[in-house]
Amino acid sequence: MILFPNAKVNLGLNIVRKRPDGYHDIETLFYPIKGLCDILEVITTDGTPNTIEFSQSGLGIDCNPDSNLCVKAYRLLANRFGMPHVKMHLHKIIPMGAGLGGGSSDAAFALKAMNGFLKEPLSIDELMALALELGSDCPFFITNTPSIGRGRGELLEPVNISLAGFWILLVNPGIHVSTRDAYEGSNPKPWDNPIGNIVNLPLSDWPSKLVNDFEKTVFPKHPLIERIKEELYSMGAVYASMSGSGSTVFGIFKSKPVIPNSFKEYFTHLSEI
């Protein structure tokens, strides 16, 4: 079985409040970018049950394979329900730590794939509950449809919004942004106008009303990320923003843009939405 775990972007992000447990409540709109995907192969083979052979290629993953979220997804199911022996190979294309949800997507797609190996497959709600144990973004990729995320991002409300016909350009300059650092110095406060209302406005209204609160703390520390956003607007983007806690910035265009030479040294992805 071969799957294509896709990226996502955040259309706006409001840091609502700091919670007693040290986490923050947010409100954001997750939007899947199905043109940018990793490649995940999962097959069952003869071998010792509840064991996995995992390999990876593509972009380097700076962690022990045992710490990979795909392996953790397998062990989560194996420990609770029992699993056949599995061989799994992950080819990474989505940059890591880039605000694009690549690792979360890999884990969620691995769960969905291996759910088919169970004698009694789990429901969507059960899969989402398991996905949350792997990461706050993981439940979104179980349904993989535009959704408002609240709480830590795991409380999902599907939204009827489509950007079909537009183009998206993703630019990642390879800057590592610590999520902890991104939250540091933030001023949590609910927006007067919730994201769900803003995204129903015409796209031309988004630049003045839809923002990512993380930009306020990340841009002063990493001015290059802000300059990329400014250049996307100078290219004619209808809306541009940093995704998640960064460092990827994206621009949404009415027609296919030409990638400027200034972006050639960065990771870029251009596709129709």
Please report, for the chain, the start and end positions of each structural domain, with discontinuous segments joined by +.
2-158, 167-272
Query: Is pLDDT of 60 > 90?
Result: no
Asked whether the predicted pLDDT for residue 226 surpasses 90, the reply is: yes
Which DSSP letter does residue 77 get? Answer: H
* pLDDT of the residue at 246: 87
Look at residues 186, 173, 33 and name the one whose alpha carbon lies nearest to residue 98: 173
| Alpha carbons 233 and 243: distance in angstroms, whole number | 15
pTM for this structure? 0.94
> Percent of the chain at pLDDT above 90?
89
Q: Tell me if domain 2-158 and domain 167-272 are identical in fold.
A: no
Compute CA 71 distance to the chain's CA centroid, rounded to the nearest angstrom: 19
Over residues 7-27, the mean pLDDT reads 94
3.40.47.10, 1.20.1110.10, 3.20.20.10, 3.30.230.10: which CATH number matches 2-158?
A: 3.30.230.10
State the catalytic residue, choosing from 8, 92, 112, 229.
8
8 labelled catalytic: yes
Q: Average pLDDT for residues 188-203, to the nearest whole number? A: 94
Residue 180's pLDDT is 85
Catalytic residue among 112, 137, 213, 229: 137
Helix, strand, coil percentages, rounded to 5, for the chain = 30, 30, 40
Query: Among 238, 234, 181, 184, which residue's Cα sits nearest to residue 210?
Result: 238
In angstroms, the CA 250 to CA 9 distance is 8
Helix/strand/coil (H/E/C) assignment for every residue in 141-207: HHHCCCEEEECCCCEEEECCCCCCCCEEEEEECCCCCCHHHHHCCCCCCCCCCCHHHHCCCCHHHHH
pLDDT at 62: 63
CATH classification number, 167-272, choose in 3.40.190.10, 3.30.70.890, 3.20.20.70, 3.20.20.410: 3.30.70.890
Task: State the average pLDDT over residues 64-79.
Answer: 91
Residue 66 annotated in active site = no
Cβ–Cβ < 8 Å for 28, 22: no
Sign of CA dihedral 226, 233, 94, 158: positive
What pLDDT was estimated at residue 63? 66
